[in-house]
Every structure is written in C-alpha cells, then in structure tokens.
Structure 1
Amino acid sequence: MIGSEGLAMKTITGLAALSVLIAGPALAQDVGGPPPPPPPPAPATTVVLPEWRAVPAENLLVIDTTRGRILVELMPEVAPLHVERIKLLARRGFYDNVPWHRVIDWFMAQTGDPLGNGEGQSPYPDLKGEFTFRRDSAMPFVAVAEPAGARVGFFHSLPVQTQPDAAFALTGDGKVHGWGLYCPGVAGMARDEGNDTANSQFFLMRQAYPALDKRYTIWGNTVSGLDVVRSLRVGDGDNGMVTAEPDRMTRVRIAADIAQGERPAVQVLATDSPRFRAMVDETRVSRGADFSVCDVVLPVQVTN
C-alpha cells in the first residue's frame, strides 16, 4: 500500500486542452449538370496535425469511471514489464468495477485492488521494480531545464530526469540513466515493502510528490482527465481509505481494442515544436525561481 509519506503498503492545472476547428467543404453552386462526386471517406488512421504528436492506440489506456473518463499514455520504453501487466489486466477485464479504495487529497488516488481494502491483487506473479530506465541518443527526450549534472524534460508526455548527454561516451552501452518524475497525473505502481512486490494496484497523482521519485515504478501519464482524478471521492478513513461508497473504474480498456468509430484518439503538443518551446519559456517567466517541469502541462486534443 501507499503510506502518507510513501507507498510502503499496497495501499500514493495547467493549460486547458486546445480545440481545433476544421471547416467543412463549401456547398457547390447549382449550375446544372451531374452532381459532384461524393467526398472521399475519412481515413481510418489518425491525421496528425502540424506540431502535434498522436498517441498510439496500443499505448493509450482508457479508464471509464463513475466520475468520467481518464486517458493515460503508457510508456513501455520506461517500464516494459509494468506496461505489459497493465495491458494484460485491462484486456482480461480485471480492472472493471474495481474501486478507488484509497484517495488522499493533494497526493494521489489508488485502485487496482479487487478486494477494495488494499490487500488484494491479481493472480499473476509480482513484478520486478523498474524505477529507472536507460536512455540513448535516439530516444525523443526534450530538456526544459539543466541543473548541475542532470537534464530535466519530457519523454513523450512524461516528465523525466536523466543524466547529461556527455555521459553517453562514458558508459559501456552508450546509454544513461533516466527516471520519471511524480508530477500531477503521473501513473505509478503501488507495492509492499519490497522493491519487487508490485502486482496490480496502481495510483494516479493528484498533485506533485517528488519524494516518490525512483522509489515506485512509473508506467504512464494522464493525458486527459486529470480533473476526473481530482474529483474522485477522498478517503475518510485511516491512511486515506474510502469507507463510504467509493468511486469505481467502471471499465478499463486499451484504445486499440475499441472499435474505430468509438475509439478515443489523442494528440499531444509535440515537445520538439516551436510552440512547445514558447509555452515553456512563458511558463518559466511566470513561475520565476519556482519553475519546475511539473509546471509544464502539455495541451491535448481528444476526439471521441
């Protein structure tokens, strides 16, 4: 669970999403003759707009809850074993109707326990901790700050910190250590006292909590629905346990498994775009000395 200072037991605002107006075709004037041919069918794949990055449907977790929908971008490059487990359990319906059994305001919302008391888990073996990952020069990482001996920025939508690029030449595999940062919306795995005891329970951050960094595996980031995470019923019992009727995950799916016409499609502002850089600069000026990567909230567009 997750304790108030950490997750020892299996019990852990930013810019508004931007919208896009797409103009429809103008009506042709009636000048006689045969009618114009019908427009071509809409493409089956997502059309990526300039400066936007499409989240692959295979890496988009769709969590429908009693409070609304939450969309989490999965990060298999950061935590492959944990992402594989989340996908397996989602596809087997394990998470459907499971309560948010532990919710602490200004901290996190926890779920994934079918018993609802912080002691339950899946029938599968516990997972080895994936608290850090290895980054090479090909990984699409964009820095927003460079404190001494480190780089802080984004891998896709996930806030991360890594060793500096100069260390590539000093390691045997040409890679450096990186780790996710527990900013609002980040998805982490709950565990018992041992590092390798995560199983099925997970949590979504309601606020930033850097004390968790490199202590609990990060496997994704909320790209839509942080307001839903923050609206979940807060626990009234010991250690944030919800003793009254808890909110629930009504259905959890991988977007790739949802029919094309119903599947949510997500585009996130590309972190290598001029627009992103301008947004970061504006945020840095407004926050001043208090600026942190957690202050940078990527605009998102969602259809369906």
Structure 2
Amino acid sequence: MADITDPENTIIVTLKDGDVVIQLLPDVAPKHSERMKELARAGAYDNVVFHRVIEGFMAQTGDVANGNAEQNFDIRRAGTGGSDLPDLPAEFSKLPHDRGTLGAARSANPNSANSQFFINFRDNHFLNGQYTVYGRVISGMDFVDAIVRGEPPTTPDRMIKVRVAADA
C-alpha cells in the first residue's frame, strides 16, 4: 500500500482484487473532497457498482441512489442518480485529467456533480477545465485497470468498501 502522508484526505477503496488508495485534493476542490469523505464515512459508497467502464477512457461509479449491488438492483438505472445531498458547484482548476486522476461526474450542467466520480485509465486532457479533478490514485491503479468493462457491464465490479484512511 502507498505511503499515506495525509490520512484525513486519503480514501481507500476496496475492490475485488485489492485496495485502491486515493489522495484527495482539498486545496484544489474542497467541496468535492469533503463530499467524498462524508459519503465514505456514511458507508454510502459500499457495494456501489462501476456502471460505466470504457476501455481506454475511464471507470465511473458512485451512484449511491441506484448503484448498490445489495439493494433491489437494476444496472439500467445505475448512473442516473446521486445522493440525497445538494449538488456541488464546479471546482474547475488547471490540474489535467491525467491517468489515475479522480474526476467528478455530472450532467450537462457544470454545477450538477453530487456523488458520482470517475477514474481516468489514461490521460484525458480533452476533459480539462470541464470536469472537477479532486483526487489521484497513489496506489492500486492496477486494480482499477482490472475493472470489468461495459456501458453498463453485464456483471459489474463494485466498490466493496470505501473508507477514509484516518478512520481505518
């Protein structure tokens, strides 16, 4: 596992193959970073599927309303919701959407991000300035690369457990 220097701003996502460690960027996107910690601490991300996984692009998850594989789950609805918390304003920055960065998923409205996020499989600089970057994978990117592909995947992978490193 990675050397965690700021446990309060580090997220550990347990996948089927191992842990993915994400360093949040509260200095760049404080509202998005805080939201991820709030939902992780509430257990809202646990068992949520990766509902949109595009080869050579990214893996998207975080629909806490419709993506929990333990609920009455319908993969066709996953990706259409968020949390019961208000949407977040965009926190665009100069940080590029490089491989391993975490981006806030949203609708066409730039201020509609809520709970969903994606992890870039490669540099996706065409997203720069259009989607909030608020974290980066510092360990376990090989586990992200192994997530089952599909829009949606037939048998989607899920985030088994998501926690803040300070709480682990």
* TM-score, normalisation: structure 1: 0.50
C-alpha distance in 1 between matches for 2:56 and 2:38: 30
- Asked whether the equivalents of residues 79 and 219 of structure 1 are also in contact (C-alpha less than 8 Å), the reply is yes
- 1:50-129 correspondence runs (5 A): 55-114=5-64, 115-116=66-67, 117-129=78-90
Partner of 1:180: 95
Q: Runs (4+) of structure 1 moved beyond 4 Å? A: none
- Decide whether the 8 Å contact of 2:4 with 2:10 is kept in 1: no
- Identify which of 140, 143, 152 aligns with 1:241: 152
Q: Distance in 1 between matches of 2:126 and 2:135?
A: 18
**Structure 2: runs of 5 or more not aligned:** 68-77
CA RMSD of aligned residues (A): 1.5
Residue 141 (structure 2) aligns with: 226
Q: Secondary structure at the match of 1:71?
A: strand
> Which residue does 1:254 correspond to in 2?
164
Residues 72, 223 of structure 1: 8 Å contact kept = yes
CA apart distance, 1:241: 2.0
Structure of greater relative contact order (alpha carbons < 8 Å, 6+ residues apart):
2
Deviation (angstroms), 1:128 = 0.3
Measured in 2, the distance between the counterparts of 1:55 and 1:214 equals: 28
| Structure 1 residue 67, shift from structure 2 partner | 2.6
User: Hey, what does 1:195 align to over in structure 2?
Assistant: 110
Query: Post-superposition shift, 1:54?
Result: 5.1
The answer to whether the 8 Å contact 1:98/1:111 transfers is yes
The answer on whether the counterparts of 2:12 and 2:164 sit within 8 Å (CA) in structure 1 is yes
Mapped partners of 1:54, 1:94: distance in 2: 23
Is contact 1:67-1:232 (8 Å) kept? no
2:124 to 209, 218, 224: 209
Distance in 1 (alpha carbons) for counterparts of 2:122 and 2:33: 22
2:111 counterpart SS class: coil
- 3-state SS of the aligned residue for 2:28? coil
Amino acid at match of 1:241: P
Q: How far apart are 1:66 and its partner, in Å?
A: 1.7
What is the identity percentage for the equivalent residue pairs of Structure 1 and Structure 2? 43
Asked if structure 2 preserves the Cα contact closer than 8 Å seen for 1:189 and 1:202, the reply is: yes
- Could you tell me whether the CA contact under 8 Å between 1:108 and 1:206 is conserved in 2? yes
- Identify the range of structure 1 (192-201 vs 111-120) with the bigger mean alpha-carbon deviation: 111-120
**Cα offsets for 1:82-119 (capped at 9, x unmatched):** 00100000000000000011100110000001313210
Specify the SS of the correspondent of 1:87.
helix
SS at match of 1:252: strand
Unaligned runs of 5+ in 1: 1-16, 19-52, 133-178, 259-304
Computing the radius of gyration from Cα coordinates, the structure with the larger value is 1
User: Structure 1 residue 209: deviation in Å?
Assistant: 0.7
1:116-174 deviations in Å (ceiling 9; x for gaps): 32102100000000002xxxxxxxxxxxxxxxxxxxxxxxxxxxxxxxxxxxxxxxxxx
SS at structure 1 position matched to 2:135: strand
